[in-house]
Amino acid sequence: MKGLQSARARGRTGGRPKGYSKETISKLIIMRSVYKDPTKTPEEIYKPLGLTRAMFYRYAKILDNHTNEEIKKMAIKN
């Protein structure tokens, strides 16, 4: 506990970043442009973006629930 208090006093916080990197946000925006195209298979979408199948479906869930403006606001604050 003393170590955590010391770190907080110096302005350091631990844990996972609260948001997405700029690279992730750009992939989400690019993916949105082809995601709803019924002629594309998921594999044709996620392979060129360098994603795994699991990441594709995780990103698809984000795209279904948020607009581009909301996604852009999810960037990690530095």
Cβ burial, residue 2 (10 Å; 0-12/13-18/19+)? exposed
pTM for the full predicted model: 0.73
Place of tokens 């973006």: 49
pLDDT tier at 39 (50, 70, 90 boundaries)?
Answer: very high
The average pLDDT across 39-58 equals 93
Bridge partner residues of 20 (DSSP): 75
